Structure 1
Amino acid sequence: MLKKRMINLLATGFYTGLSPIAPGTVGTIAALIFALVWIQKYTISFAFILIFVCGGTLISQWAEELYGVKDASQIVIDEWAGFFIAVFGLGVDKFLLAFILFRIFDIFKPPPIRNLQKFHGGIGIMLDDILAGLMANILLRVALNFF
């Protein structure tokens, strides 16, 4: 029972994924707030992201089994991971732009993000958001170099 509650708590991004409206966006807003608080004392390092992605893959796998639905909308730990990748190495002043770009890539899923939807389980849940975060980060860095 405790394991199920912990999976639900973490997979839903502290229950933000239970929002009846735009659970992915609400979950990403929670990740943004968490990131703003986290960086007051720590940094969003590569090690942090690696641990989060590995843990998130496991948790999302368990959550998918718990809910019995492929990539259930209430699972937003993948949005958290993608957002952390989107802001990796950027200053706090770029977090809002990273948020917007990440959500655009995550919602519209342009190729090659869309192609990752064919994977199943925790890996399938996480991969598209990881790539959306990576694309948002790279695009933002390129744009900042030109402006």
Structure 2
Amino acid sequence: MGAYEIILILALLLILFGVSRWSRFGKGFKRGMEEFINATGEVTKEMQDAMGSEDPSKKDRRDGPSNGAVANFVLWVAQGFGSGRIPWAPGTFGSLVGLVWFAALLAGGSYWLYLIGCAVGIVASVQLCGAAEKILDETDPPSVVLDEIIAIPICFLGWVSFIYFKTGFLPEPQYFFSRQTWLITVAVYVLFRLFDIAKPWPVKQSQSLPGGWGVTIDDVLAAVYVNLVVLAAHALYIAQHHRG
């Protein structure tokens, strides 16, 4: 992706979200990173203590902080590595982090690894988002955005699959941000946010599923809707192309 495309995308994001909102994004991400550093520091300390004396008093001290450190780490991941702490539209910013996860799966260079990554993402989201609900004592907390992150690669699954079965190769990450395709990538992202917010049937109904399933499956179904729209648009394009 050239400098022109990067500048254009950054300008579009700046227009969409505004300077003040990006400032809040930075503050929220910084706060999340600080909590992550604190949590990992506690985990490291507890591991060091575990390797030392087995004095009962030390063991008692390990039990409490260790649980807190694990809970902080779970929250940090479930809250999109800090992006979910942004006070305005955390799901939207969490979905931006999902583009990074999408690019990482493409960088693996294997279609089957991409599919496995999507499946593992769903399982991880169910587990971690469910745990975050218990920690926060809240159903589907707005700050928990891991479900949005793991849904982004699923949004592109139809497009990726079409290219793979047509060419035999998994497209590279930069393909989706090239001058020819970046607008479609933005459209996929926007479509996901629209379906995730509007929650057409059965997206909304899936939220009644227990625990992390209710948090995760609605985003997966929203991603399915995105694929249907993208494939329908592609079919219309092909039909018009042949007609012309």
Query: Taking structure 2 as the reference length, what is the TM-score of the superposition?
Result: 0.56
Aligned partner of residue 81 in structure 2, secondary structure: coil
Aligned to 2:115: 46
Alignment of 1:1-147 (within 5 A): 1-42=68-109, 45-90=114-159, 92=176, 93=181, 94-147=184-237
Contact persistence 2:154–2:223 (CA under 8 A)? yes
**1:8 deviation in Å?**
1.2
Q: 1:11 to 1:33 in 2, by over 3 A?
A: same
Structure 1, gaps ≥5 residues long: none
2:105 and 2:114 in contact (8 A); partners too:
no
Mean alpha-carbon deviation: is it higher for 38-47 or for 122-131?
A: 38-47
Q: Is the 8 A contact 1:64 1:71 kept in 2?
A: yes
Task: In structure 2, give the amino acid aligned to 1:59.
Answer: L
- For 1:42 and 1:76, locate their aligned partners in 2 and report how far apart those are by CA, in whole Å: 26
Equivalent position of 2:58 in the other structure: none
Aligned length: 147
Q: In structure 1, what is the Cα distance between the partners aligned to 2:193 and 2:109?
A: 24
Higher mean displacement: 107-116 or 21-30:
107-116
Secondary structure at 1:39 match in 2: helix
SS at match of 2:80: coil
Whichever structure has more helix as a proportion of its residues is 2
Which has the greater radius of gyration?
Answer: 2
CA distance in 1, matches of 2:101, 2:119: 17
Q: Per-residue deviation at 1:31? A: 1.0
Please provide the CA RMSD for this pair: 1.7
Which residue in 1 is equivalent to 2:43? Answer: none
**Once the 2 structures are TM-superposed, how far is the Cα of residue 19 of structure 1 from its aligned partner?**
0.7
What is the TM-score normalised by the length of structure 1? 0.91
Bigger relative contact order (CA 8 A; separation at least 6): 1
Displacement, 1:30?
1.4
CA distance in 2: counterparts of 1:37 and 1:53, whole angstroms: 16
Preserved contact between residue 101 and residue 153 of structure 2 (Cα < 8 Å) = no
| CA apart distance, 1:42 | 4.1
* Cα distance, 1:120 vs structure 2: 2.6
The Cα shift of 1:62 comes to: 0.4
Matching residue of 2:38: none
Larger CA deviation: 79-88 vs 121-130: 79-88
